[in-house]
Amino acid sequence: MTAGFDAIIIGAGIIGTCIAFELSKKGYRTLNIDKNPAVGYGSTSSSCAVIRTFYSTKDASALAFEGWHYWRNWENYVGSNIESDLIKYRNTGCLIYKTDGNNKLASVPPIMDAIGCAYEHWSADQIKERLPIVDTHRFEPVKHVEDDGFAEPTGAEIHGGIYFPVGGYVNDPQLATQNVKEAAMSRGAEFRFNAQVVEIKQDAGRASGVVLSDGSEVLAPIIINVAGPHSSKINDLAGIGGKTAIKTRPARQEVASLKAPEGFDYENLGPMCADDDVGTYSRPETGNHMLIGTVSPPCDETDWVDADEFEANITDQIMTQVMRQAQRYSGLQIPSSINGIVALYDVSDDWNPIYDKSDLPGYYMAIGTSGNQFKNAPLVGQIMTAIIEACESGIDHDHSPGEFHLKNIGWTLPLAMFSRNRQINADSSFSVLG
């Protein structure tokens, strides 16, 4: 039996590691436990690590805009006690296409004006000027490859787009997690790998520790579920699986990697793009490659899986995403064999995260991060620390959830937006775009 920890964090991805860092700054002795062999080895390692500011609500956009300040000043965040190479943030800018389906992004400018985030309206001609590889025809609604009319234009031109000068991606999400781990360890945080939690211990009606698969026990008065796609299984171990209004479950995703069209320096000139017209998102990658994912258009069924039993090899879905992207990028060569990765999202009912306490005192959750919260990880660490400190001091977080101030942009978030018992956010895209 191991005692002496103030908090056990189940999971050592980017969010779990940032929580350890922030708690350790406050003097908590933390232990991250992960079934994988290293930090950032699970879903984090497969993240496209996109840093963008556009979401469907003001508060979610404000959080992302605040997060951008941390990635662009990464060394200031993690400090100087880092032996590994620091990650690099590439500010490529982000472009979202206007479509009939997203109401031509009519709601976006008021949100960006409110939070003070810069943006530009680009016409179809301006998009073509900036990105000469773009086919500006309209293709919506998104179709399956085998559907009649696939790749045939349904309109003369797209409605244009909104470009955000602020945005881009992190070059190595796993290395980012390693950077934070080292920063946390310099504050006294500890990590244990190749260890699986099989029981949440309780004593006198509150969480008191965990039991591992090897039979060993670790005690702590605070347990934090940051288990990503396994989060619902950990909640079941804690006996709270059916006690939240918002549920989470794992969804299987594929991301393709292939060469950008010849003759265009996509690596240095291409922005991150979200394209509801063809149902994809994309970003540049080293070697003049591009990564291509899906925004889960209505014609595609979400592939809900068991986090421990799912198809780990790429399927025909990855070819579908590439062919959809080829509608937009003229000259995109489609090889017979496409490289890609398979990963799991931890998806809540409204594709927005849960950062909250639970009905079991001492047991907290940072879950339902749905593939789009990498960018917010440093702030999630601070938010969870604030929630834990409030609850452990006796504040009733359910009735008085409080607020969280975003210091760089001067915005205050209501923490109720992350509640496990909130109503489903009807403004959500119900996709990875949040």
- Domain with 255, as residue range(s), is 94-165+249-348
Q: Do 379 and 405 fall within a single domain? A: yes
Average pLDDT, whole number, for the chain? 95
Q: Do 30 and 149 fall within a single domain? A: no
Q: Is residue 1 scored above 70 in pLDDT?
A: no
Instruction: Give per-residue pLDDT as tens, 35-60.
Output: 999 999 999 999 999 999 999 899 99
Q: Is residue 432 scored above 90 in pLDDT?
A: no
Q: Do 111 and 182 fall within a single domain? A: no
385 in any annotated domain: yes
Instruction: Give per-residue pLDDT as tens, 257-303.
Output: 999 999 999 999 999 999 999 999 999 999 999 999 999 999 999 99
Q: Do 260 and 341 fall within a single domain? A: yes
Give me the percent of the chain exceeding a pLDDT of 70: 98
pLDDT at 243: 92
Cα(99)–Cα(277) distance, rounded to whole angstroms?
Answer: 6
Q: Is residue 427 scored above 90 in pLDDT?
A: no
SS3 191: strand
- 92 pLDDT tier (thresholds 50, 70, 90): very high
132 in any annotated domain: yes
Q: What is the pTM of this model?
A: 0.97
pLDDT at 182: 98
46 in any annotated domain: yes
Neighbours of 298 (CB within 10 A): 11
CATH of the domain at 156: 3.30.9.10
Q: Do 130 and 143 fall within a single domain? A: yes
Residue at a domain's end among 348, 365, 395:
348
Pairing between β-strand 248-259 and β-strand 339-348 as defined by DSSP bridges? antiparallel
Nearest 5°: CA angle at 105, between 264 and 267?
A: 20
- How many folded domains does the chain comprise? 2
Question: DSSP state, 263?
Answer: T
CATH of the domain at 206: 3.50.50.60
Q: How far, CA to CA in Å, does 334 sit from each of 73, 151, 258, 297, 331? A: 37, 14, 8, 21, 9
Output the 3-class SS for 33-69.
Answer: ECCCCCCCCCHHHHCCCEECCCCCCHHHHHHHHHHHH
115 in any annotated domain: yes
Q: Do 68 and 213 fall within a single domain? A: yes
Q: Do 359 and 308 fall within a single domain? A: no
Residue at a domain's end among 348, 371, 396:
348
